[in-house]
Each structure stands twice: as structure tokens, then as C-alpha cells.
Amino acid sequence: MILSGGEDRLKSVRQVARTDTMIIVDAPQTMLTEGRHRIVMFRYAFLVHPRDGALATVVWRINLGRDGSYLLDPGNAVRMRPNLVATCALHVDGREITAGIPSSMAFATTRLPVGEPVTMPEALRSMAGQKRLSAESVGPLEEAARQAIGSPLP
């Protein structure tokens, strides 16, 4: 049942935007938030350096409103370590286990993936939590994400 729920969430991972050197992907996660397990969105920006192909991955959290709206979490983003293979600490909510059977909300991550905290510049914060990104906002979003990690385009 848990694996089935996880597979269903994988089906809802979606590409939000892209350029020739960046792709943004939203992936729903169950996360411990204010003492409860809630569905949040982890937004990943995969940035490729055009000269050498080096990849930088930045991830930040977006909270979901009751109506499905996106609310950028006030915390920092994380620049994930290259070649990261990680296990994440899981929180178990006993309220989500009935007769020994866990629901799809029984297990939740407790944090963003391991990496270097990145302060999001205001230019990035203003766009980073938008549910839909316009074609006009993708270029400035990429530029701001690169500025945040210190990897501007040449």
C-alpha cells in the first residue's frame, strides 16, 4: 500500500520549466510540518554549465495551500552535493497506522536533501514559489538561481 502510494506520487512529478541549460521539476513529498505529516512540493532546479557540462542541483520547499496554491517556504534552499546518494531520516506518525497497517501518510521526510544551504536572493524568491512559470520568467529565474549558487552563465 505504501509503495503504491509512492508510485502514485511519482506520477505527479512534473517538469515546470526549462531552458537549454536548466530544468525545473516539482516533486511532491510527505514532510513533517508543524507536528503533522503534510504533502509539500520540493522544487528542483537542475543547472548545467554550458561550457563543461557540470551539473548543480538546487532544491527548495513549497508549501501547499488548502486550495492547492503554492506558498514558498521561508527557509533556505539547498545546493545538493554532487553525486549524492542519500538516505533520509523518516518520521513515523503512529496516528497513520491502523491495526498495524500504515497509510500512505505514515512516513515523512524531516528535511530537504543534504547539501549546502543557499540564501535565495529576492529575485529568486519572487518567482521560486509560483505554481506556473511564464516563458518570460524562466530566464530571470535561471539567472537568479545561478546567482544564488555563485555559478553565473558566461
Write the burial class of residue 14 (CB in 10 Å: 0-12 exposed, 13-18 middle, 19+ buried): exposed
Beta-carbon count within 10 A of 27 CB: 15
Residue type, 138: V
Instruction: Give the global pTM.
Output: 0.86
pLDDT by residue for the chain (154 residues), tens only, comes to 566 666 677 778 999 999 999 999 999 999 998 899 999 999 999 999 988 888 999 999 999 998 989 988 888 899 998 887 777 788 888 888 888 888 777 888 888 988 899 888 787 787 888 888 888 888 888 988 888 888 765 5
CA atoms within 13 A on the CB side of 139: 2
Beta-carbon count within 10 A of 144 CB: 19
Query: Is there a contact between 78 and 58 (Cβ–Cβ < 8 Å)?
Result: yes
